Amino acid sequence: MKDEEYLAVVRRHYPKANTTTASVHTLFNELQSKFGLAPHQILHADSICSDDVNSIEYPPSAYDMLGPFKLGGLDGYPFAGLTGMSAFAHHVPKDGAVVIFYAPHIGITGEGSIGQVNRIGQKQPSACCGAVSAALQKLQGNKINIGELTDLDYQQNTIEQILFKQKERITQAPVPIKEATEVMYEAIEERINF
């Protein structure tokens, strides 16, 4: 499947979606025209899911910036916390700036099925984001306990608690996995802007 064909499938769910290459190009143009900043003056931090599918999605041009400093854990929630934020803030080049790219993620197959992705070398599509998908199943099965955070699965438990606070909104939405992803976006944004 060609990139443009796949982008058209993605835009059925997210009309403003763009490729990573086009997005980085737009970012560099904006930084240059509005602030006179070149890519090498930018410290790039990201808060995106640990999923390997995200690691292979950065276009080569993204590495013209410094970084990325990784703030995210499962589904992009900034688990690096205050210490992570203050660390990268100290790494910014003199006369430079920081760009923080934050987002949850959601897979869309070539056939347009949302919440799943076709992974390289696998015949069947698999859940994406797997963490949110698992938390959603637990939410729908009434298996999340208020305030339950364990040492062994702290990140996943945190996602469960975030979804639990918006249980009605998510479970009654036409596409619960899409709504759960919106909830995660809002939670990530709130924490980044803290």
Q: Site for Zn ion (CB under 5 A): which residue of 49, 106, 135, 163? A: 49
- Cα 48–chain centre separation: 4
The nearer residue to Zn ion, 25 or 58, going by C-beta atoms, is 58
In the structure encoding, which two tokens stand for residue 101, read together? 């790219």
The nearer residue to Zn ion, 10 or 129, going by C-beta atoms, is 129
To Zn ion, the closest distance from the beta carbon of 128 in angstroms equals: 6
Residue 160 binds Zn ion (CB under 5 A): no
The number of residues that bind Zn ion (CB under 5 A) is 4
Secondary structure class of 69 (helix, strand, coil): strand
Cβ count within 10 A of residue 49: 24
- φ, ψ of residue 179 to 5 degrees: the values are -70, -40
Residue 51 binds Zn ion (CB under 5 A): yes
Cα–Cα dist 188/63, whole Å: 24
To Zn ion, the closest distance from the beta carbon of 131 in angstroms equals: 5
Stretch that binds Zn ion, among 35-43, 47-55, 111-119, 136-144 (CB under 5 A): 47-55
Cα–Cα dist 106/152, whole Å: 25
- Angle at Cα 14 formed by Cα 139 and Cα 123, nearest 5°? 70
Residue 159 binds Zn ion (CB under 5 A): no
The nearer residue to Zn ion, 43 or 75, going by C-beta atoms, is 75
Q: Do you find a cis peptide bond into 68, omega within 30 degrees of 0? A: yes
Footprint of Zn ion on residues 125-144 (CB under 5 A)?
129
Instruction: Output the CA–CA distances (angstroms, integers) from residue 19 to 3, 27, 67, 121, 194, in the order listed.
Output: 8, 12, 20, 22, 29
Residue 163 binds Zn ion (CB under 5 A): no
Footprint of Zn ion on residues 101-130 (CB under 5 A)?
129
Residue 162 binds Zn ion (CB under 5 A): no
95: amino acid identity, one letter = D
Secondary structure class of 194 (helix, strand, coil): coil
Which positions from 59 to 78 touch Zn ion by CB under 5 A, shown as an x/- string? Answer: ----------------x---
Interface residues with Zn ion (CB under 5 A)? 49, 51, 75, 129
